[in-house]
């Protein structure tokens, strides 16, 4: 029986709906949602499938799912909001806001290096305690003491997990609020958006369980990330597996992980909320009369800071200030100013200011694509083709 997605889809974008349903029929999805706005108005809001591997719980309109590094874009929006409020200067040293960070040669690292993956602190060398991901002070103390892995600013490398603690601690020092609380008070509560960093047990009935990615086929080409991560003392392994590998369903479906604030990797969201938030950034920064970011912040956010071989991922990446930027290697549609963030396994949210499009995709079946998920790309390419 063919899949029937629920929700709304403007007839103009019927191809997106058909492709979304085909992903299920081809066995590529367990449960998923996709959404898009144009000029701030919803044109696609679809969901289908199941919230668990056993397919015993249907994926509903309000199903939340962990979106891994798509969370980084949300955290970056919070940081840019502080810039707009005159509370954060991107050229100022991190130590201005977080004095303890000025250890081990890090006293001059500017805040903008945290956002552009140039700070040289993508990992902690010493083995961290098993519960470190949900021990905020332990993570921040370890990062404050860490020596950079390279000369800050000389190159870029993906701060897969540390990005959230580094940017998040700056947010906390300025506001007195954890990043999750700041996000809620400043953005998601006023806009009624279902995006959360750190959720209590009352959310669990709505959360879809992530399903591990299938193993690669025997004839798959070598994965440079997997090869780099094979060295237990190397920066890549330490960045994604200290204290524990972050792509482990047992870890990330646990109550401890869901309840923690890991602002680089454990946001929970709907595709609808991602599309709405990025839709505001695609249309000048406001939605429903509420200012998310100024046009100046949006322009600055998608100004290129880093482009080329990534010292942690082993692939070519292109970064603005906290956001992944469209690039020939990883296109986010046809236009030059698109910015947002993908997450491991497939989720993504982005804004295209040229087409005035906000897009969100969230799923629980982890995919194996390294940067931009093929399922998501099929959907947003069909969206742009219909414009």
- The region that residue 346 occupies, defined by phi over 0 for left and psi between -120 and 50 for alpha, beta otherwise, is left
pLDDT of residue 230: 79
Q: Which two tokens stand for residue 370?
A: 């390294």
Q: What's the rounded mean pLDDT across residues 232-242?
A: 93
Q: Provide the residue ranges of all domains of the chain, joining segments of one domain with +.
A: 6-386
Q: What are the tens digits of pLDDT across the range 35-44?
A: 999 999 999 9
pLDDT of residue 218: 81
Range name among 153-167, 187-201, 222-236, 272-286 with the lowest pLDDT average: 222-236
First to last CA, the chain: 31
The pLDDT mean for the chain works out to 96
Q: What's the rounded mean pLDDT across residues 43-67?
A: 98
Quickly name the fold that domain 6-386 has. Beta-lactamase (3.40.710)
pLDDT of residue 224: 62
CA distances from 270 to 70, 250, 337 (A): 11, 21, 24
Choice among 33, 69, 95, 347 that is catalytic = 69
Q: What are the tens digits of pLDDT across the range 15-31?
A: 999 999 999 999 999 99
Q: What are the tens digits of pLDDT across the range 251-301?
A: 999 999 999 999 999 999 999 999 999 999 999 999 999 999 999 999 999
Give 357's pLDDT tier (boundaries 50, 70, 90).
very high
* Secondary structure letter of residue 323 according to DSSP: S
- Is 69 one of the catalytic residues? yes
Q: Using CB atoms within 10 A of its CB, is residue 205 exposed (0-12), middle (13-18) or buried (19+)?
A: exposed
Q: What is the distance between the alpha carbons of residues 352 and 358, in angstroms, rounded to a whole number?
A: 6
pLDDT of residue 123: 98
pTM > 0.95: yes
Q: Look at residue 225 and tell me whether its pLDDT is greater than 70.
A: no
CA distances from 229 to 116, 225, 232, 263 (A): 22, 6, 7, 22
Percentage of the chain beyond pLDDT 70 is 99
Q: What's the rounded mean pLDDT across residues 110-124?
A: 98
pLDDT of residue 250: 86
Q: What are the tens digits of pLDDT across the range 125-139?
A: 999 999 999 999 999
pLDDT of residue 228: 67
Q: Beta-carbon neighbour count of residue 174 at 10 Å? A: 17
Pair 272, 192: CB distance under 8 Å: no
């Amino acid at each position: 029986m063919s899949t029937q997605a629920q929700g709304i889809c403007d007839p103009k974008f019927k191809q997106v709906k058909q492709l979304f349903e085909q992903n299920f029929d081809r066995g590529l999805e367990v449960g998923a949602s996709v959404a898009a706005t144009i000029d701030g108005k919803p044109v696609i809001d679809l969901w289908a499938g199941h919230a668990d591997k056993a397919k015993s719980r249907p994926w509903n309109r309000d199903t939340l799912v962990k979106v891994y590094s798509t969370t980084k874009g949300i955290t970056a929006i919070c940081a840019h909001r502080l810039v707009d409020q005159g509370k954060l200067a991107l050229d100022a040293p991190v130590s201005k806001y977080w004095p303890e960070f000025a250890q081990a040669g890090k006293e001059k690292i500017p805040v903008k290096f945290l956002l552009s993956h140039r700070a040289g602190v993508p990992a902690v060398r010493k083995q961290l305690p098993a519960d470190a991901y949900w021990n905020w002070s332990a993570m921040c103390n370890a990062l404050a003491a860490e020596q950079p892995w390279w000369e800050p600013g000389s190159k870029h490398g993906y701060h897969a997990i540390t990005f959230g603690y580094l940017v998040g601690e700056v947010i906390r020092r300025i506001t007195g609020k954890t990043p999750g609380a700041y996000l809620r008070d400043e953005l998601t509560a006023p806009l009624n958006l279902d995006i959360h960093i750190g959720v209590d047990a009352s959310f669990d009935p709505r959360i879809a369980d992530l399903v591990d990615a299938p193993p690669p086929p025997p004839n798959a080409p070598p994965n440079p990330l997997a090869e780099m991560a094979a060295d237990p003392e190397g920066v890549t392994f330490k960045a994604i597996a200290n204290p524990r590998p972050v792509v482990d369903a047992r870890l990330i479906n646990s109550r401890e992980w869901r309840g923690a604030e890991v602002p680089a990797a454990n946001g929970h969201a709907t595709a609808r909320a991602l599309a709405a938030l990025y839709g505001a950034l695609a249309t000048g920064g406001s939605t429903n009369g509420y200012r998310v970011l100024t046009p100046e912040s949006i322009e600055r956010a998608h100004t290129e800071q880093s482009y080329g071989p990534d010292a942690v991922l082993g692939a070519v990446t292109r970064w603005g200030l906290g956001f992944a930027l469209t690039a020939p290697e990883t296109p986010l549609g046809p236009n030059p100013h698109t910015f947002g963030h993908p997450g491991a396994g497939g989720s993504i949210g982005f804004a295209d200011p040229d087409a005035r499009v906000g897009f969100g995709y969230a799923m629980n079946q982890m995919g194996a694509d390294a940067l931009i998920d093929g399922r998501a790309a099929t959907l947003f390419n069909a969206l742009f083709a219909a414009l």
